[in-house]
Structure 1
Amino acid sequence: MLETNSQKRKRGLSLAFVALLVSLSAPLVLGAAIFGSKVEYLDYDTSFTLLTLNWAPKLATISLVFALIALLVSLFMAPKRTGPFALAAVIISGSVLGGFYVYERKLKSAPPIYDVATDWQRPLTFSEKLIKDRGPDAHPIEDNPRVAKGSSFEWDLKPVADVNAATCSGAQPVRNANITADKVAASLMHEGYMIFGRSPWRIEAVYRDPIYGFKSDIVVRIDPDKTDVRSVSRHELSDLGGNCTRVMRVVEILKAM
């Protein structure tokens, strides 16, 4: 009898330990996706669409089911020895799925856009050099972009200008005679942007997401009467409000010059 109980405890420990190892699969896939994207080895579709949004949540779901079974078994066999491993597996898998739940909530609450500007009457443009750097797979730079068809019941096919007005009220032109190209360039570099091109009346810069390294491009146009800003993601279908945040931050900086 003692020998049988010992064997059961060993099996329970093995199951819990395997569950812990399996629970690490989703975080490892996420880590590979983030690292591969950051060093520009993996493209957006592979790192984010495939690995992050497809493989990782599926692995986390399978891991959580396995971890719950292991936890249940450990409660009957050797809770003190096997329980911590099984519980850790549940926490790891649950945390990954929780992160995806938060992401889905943000995705539903944010407008499905990737373009924010302070002036749509006279749209800001980018240089041919920067357009080329964006690459053929990046979102096109349009004078009057619209929300993609089928992406949102609320915003479907509406002009991005209308979406900006409703959801990013802080994206407004700045009237400040102290603004100069040198000041703008210095401020953007201080904020972590890479200056891509400049002239006395326009500054172009590139922003890289600190996690995946996804790029967005920003242009600041300096006119005699006002200064405008536009920020456009390269690949994200929904920026989760990121471009609005960046434009409003630059607007704040321009006002303070």
Structure 2
Amino acid sequence: MSSRKPVPPLIPWLTALTALPPVLVVAAVAARQFGGVSLEFAYDLLTWTVARGFGWLALAAALAVGVLALRDLPRRGVFAVIALALAGGSVGVFQFQAHRLAQPTPRDVSTNLSEPPRFNALADLHPGAANVQGAAACPAAQAVPSQMLAQQAVSALVDAGFPVVRAATFEVEGVHEGAWFGFPYDAVVRIRPGRTDVRVVARDPRPDGGAACRLTAKIVRNLAAER
């Protein structure tokens, strides 16, 4: 008969607890995308309050699993590795994202500050350009020194994840929704002789960690590739 003692039930339970933060985030995303839950509940409460708080609890649980595993590493070590990976990953991702969101990144980006492109179909959402920023805040916000075709502007927007809502000869508008929580961004491409400008604006007032700038960069790269 084997004299080896079974793994204490507390270790699997504590290990399972370390998976709670990512499970809560996935549940929040699903609730937002498929359940019509508000951003205030899915993003602010469930993700940044509940899941983030459980992340630190999960880290404490992982450390406890690590201490318990020292008594029998051959059988308990795998639980410690899994627990530390889950908890450490959760806390690390939250800390990284919190740092990124704390940066003063622009939410209204234009390649032309003297005359930012104006929206037409989406004009009610963005009546002005008081807070628009350019290349100083977003180095990728560079106008394309060429008069693009409307079809090329449409292709550049669609490839950047902006389904088109309006396409005219010299102006194309599109709307992008984030893959996780569906944060909306609006974009307009304005075409003029010898120059094509881009503007991307976040609808939501929350810090976006530079998402508006990254989306602008995608559109500008796509337009440059179409030349």
Tell me the TM-score normalized by structure 2: 0.85
1:91 aligns with 2:85: yes
Q: Deviations over 1:103-142 (max 9, x none)?
A: 133234x423211111222232223x4356x6xxxxx553
Q: Letter of the 2:56 partner, please give it.
A: T
How many equivalent residue pairs?
A: 224
1:243 to 203, 212, 216: 212
Mapped partners of 1:230, 1:223: distance in 2 = 14
Q: Any unmatched runs of 5+ in structure 1?
A: 135-139, 146-159
On the 8 A contact 1:13/1:82 being kept in 2, the answer is no
On the 8 A contact 1:26/1:96 being kept in 2, the answer is yes
Q: Where do 1:1-257 residues align within 5 Å?
A: 9-10=5-6, 13-39=8-34, 41-76=36-71, 78-108=72-102, 110-127=103-120, 129-130=121-122, 142-145=128-131, 160-161=132-133, 164-177=134-147, 179-235=148-204, 237-255=206-224, 256-257=226-227
Determine helix, strand or coil for the equivalent of 2:83.
Answer: helix
Mapped partners of 1:233, 1:13: distance in 2 = 51
Return the offset for 1:226: 2.5
* CA distance 1:189–1:75, shift in 2 (3 Å): same
Report the counterpart of residue 148 of structure 1 in structure 2. Answer: none
Mapped partners of 1:240, 1:174: distance in 2 = 25
Q: Any unmatched runs of 5+ in structure 2?
A: none
Q: Letter of the 2:178 partner, please give it.
A: D
Q: Letter of the 1:171 partner, please give it.
A: A
Q: Letter of the 2:9 partner, please give it.
A: S
Q: Hey, which bits of structure 1, 4+ residues long, moved more than 4 A? A: none
* CA distance 1:142–1:30, shift in 2 (3 Å): same
Mapped partners of 2:139, 2:159: distance in 1 = 25
Return the offset for 1:186: 2.5
Q: Deviations over 1:10-30 (max 9, x none)?
A: 5x6211111111111111101
* CA distance 1:84–1:252, shift in 2 (3 Å): closer
Return the offset for 1:73: 2.4
**Identity in percent:** 26
Q: Letter of the 1:234 partner, please give it.
A: R
Structure with a larger share of its residues in helix: 1
Determine helix, strand or coil for the equivalent of 1:13.
Answer: coil
